[in-house]
Chain A
Amino acid sequence: MPDRDPLDPLAGVRNMADVPRAGLETAIAVVERMLELGRQGATTSSPFHLPAQPVDGANGDGADAAPDRGRELRRLRADAERQLELWGESVRVLLDVAVDAAETRADGRTGNADQLSLGPVSPGVPAVGRAWLHVLDGPPGPPARLIATAFTAHDGAAIEATAASFEPPLLDSFALRASQEIAITIEVPEGAPPGVYHGHVLATGLPEVGLAVRVEVGG
């Protein structure tokens, strides 16, 4: 093909045989139609330009140019954006924890601020509550399954771990430093002796996640 002007996509077409020319003209019409469709309602952004850099050891910007300067600046921008977002997320988690603690105190509940208190309920009646779990660490991996320990009273009476169920049953551990609200239901057996039972909610694969649960069963 002879020299072509990139601003004139049809320049090369004029020198083509009929069928290849028809192919290119049709293709240009299709793609420009598609681009026009995409432009409707679109906003423009500042143009992108990545400065030249050394390739295969050669210094593409002259001997005094800082090597890989463009890429370093670009990495700085990307890191800054991610860091700002992480700080924002950390502040959000801290606020969540503080507000949860304040809510617990406002409810007049006793004991540990990290503890979820359920009941009092009668035997045979489910104890239901909601809590926020904070995924502060742990490796990214498959979603964690929520499980409970047995709930035990001071005199040895126990409610089986299988009495507890959760909604959602899985915790998305891909979202590190995130919080997730869960609903917990404990099916208190008909024959459970009255008393205060203690247990924990745990998440498989996330060793730092643990929520103490207090269940009061009335007479």
Chain B
Amino acid sequence: MSELLASPVEAELARYGTMTRDALTLYVPATEPRRHLWNLVAEYPSRGGKAIRPALCLATTVAFGGELEEAISSAVALELLHNAFLVHDDIEDASLLRRGRPTLHAQHGVPLAINAGDALVVLAGAALRDNRRLLGSRRAALIGDEFDLMTRRTIEGQARELGWRRDAVCDLEPDDYLDLIMHKTCWYTTIHPMRVGALIGSLGRADLDPIVRFGFYLGAAFQIRDDLLNLVGDEAKYGKESCGDLYEGKRTLMVIHLMREASGGDRRAVERFLAMDRAQRTSADVAGVVELMRHYGSLDFAHEFGLGIAEAAGDAFEAAFANVPDSPERRFLHELIAWMLERDA
């Protein structure tokens, strides 16, 4: 989308994204070895992205009374860790596309990509250490604890999902799916950035439980929509491989619903599909599973299931920001709900 056509929310996201990426580049060494390391480290951040995480962190900081400058290192650390997760996830999932271009390991090979991912984690640690200068030791320690909790939750979620795929687990319920994305996606995409912003802005006094509720409803509804877009979205607009989740054997809500509803030969076909390696899954196999999802109403189910959660996000926002007065940042965060849950790319 061109700058001129961007909505106010997209313009704000772009502003926060530019601010964070400008600060991020200062942490990437301009030394050797460039070709085999630092150029790779800078690759994903340079591709842009929606910058939802840094925007949530920075806007929440200011909404809770803080200054943007106080949160910039945390936003950078978050963005660096996010990119590290992406590099490693792309390898684990054997993904081919990231933000509309070949994944890092597809471009440079798995060993160099793993090493670049490790370097992104190390740089995130350097950005976090700067919080001591920006915030003082007490709040820097609080933010450090938040990052420890977030990385642990994310890694635990990733382990659970990879385990399901390796062990060809099929008997899952929607509760399992929501618990998975609470750990794997929501904590670091929505909950953690706002918890960090609230702690910085409130000088460590904010009640974080309402933020967890809001972040989870928002993040879960967002993820369900993302999973649906992966199946039915326009690949050019979406920026990821169409049906990539199915090629990777991810246990999305649609897959879980299909496994519950399908019977006889249909169920056995899906079980066989889920037990395959990615390399064995053909486009015809994937199209067959999508067709079964349409037949059994799995796409509609996931859409409606997500709607119930999305409905709750608005009320949860008011509870999370109940003690926060009106401000441009508070309004931006409120408007972000609709933008995240109605997007088509």
Contact = CB atoms under 8 A, between A and B. Distances in A.
A82 interface: yes
Interface in A162-219: 174-176
A16 B311 contact: yes
A24 interface: yes
B326 A24 contact: no
A26 interface: yes
Given A19-B308, A20-B311, A47-B205, A27 B178 contact: yes
Interface in A1-55: 1, 4, 6, 9, 12-13, 16-17, 19-31, 33-35, 38, 45-53, 55
Contact of A48 (B205, B305, B326): B205
B280 interface: no
B319 interface: yes
Contacts of B126: 174
A27 B220 contact: yes
A23 B182 contact: no
Contacts of B135: 78, 82
B311 A174 contact: no
Contacts of A56: 328
A109 interface: no
Contacts, number: 136
Contacts of B213: 9, 31, 35
Contacts of A176: 133
B304 A17 contact: yes
B205 A46 contact: yes
A16 to B, nearest CB: 6
Contacts of A9: 213, 312, 315
Contacts of B205: 45-48
Contact of A23 (B66, B174, B209, B315): B174
B175 A48 contact: no
Contacts of A78: 66, 70, 135-136, 203
A23 B202 contact: no
B206 interface: yes
A22 B65 contact: no
B202 A27 contact: no
Interface string B182-203: 1000000000000000100111
B179 interface: yes
A140 B174 contact: no
Contacts of B133: 140, 174-176
B37 interface: no
A35 B213 CA distance: 9
B85 interface: no
Nearest to B177: A26
Contacts of B212: 31, 34-35, 38
Contacts of B282: none
B319 A51 contact: no
Interface string B303-345: 0111111011001001100011111100000000000000000
8 contacts: A6-B318, A9-B315, A23-B308, A23-B309, A26-B174, A38-B212, A48-B198, A53-B327
Interface of A: 1, 4, 6, 9, 12-13, 16-17, 19-31, 33-35, 38, 45-53, 55-56, 60, 70-71, 74-75, 77-78, 81-82, 85, 140, 142, 174-176
Interface of B: 29, 64-67, 70, 126, 129-130, 132-133, 135-139, 174-175, 178-179, 182, 198, 201-207, 209, 212-213, 216-217, 220, 301, 304-309, 311-312, 315, 318-319, 323-328
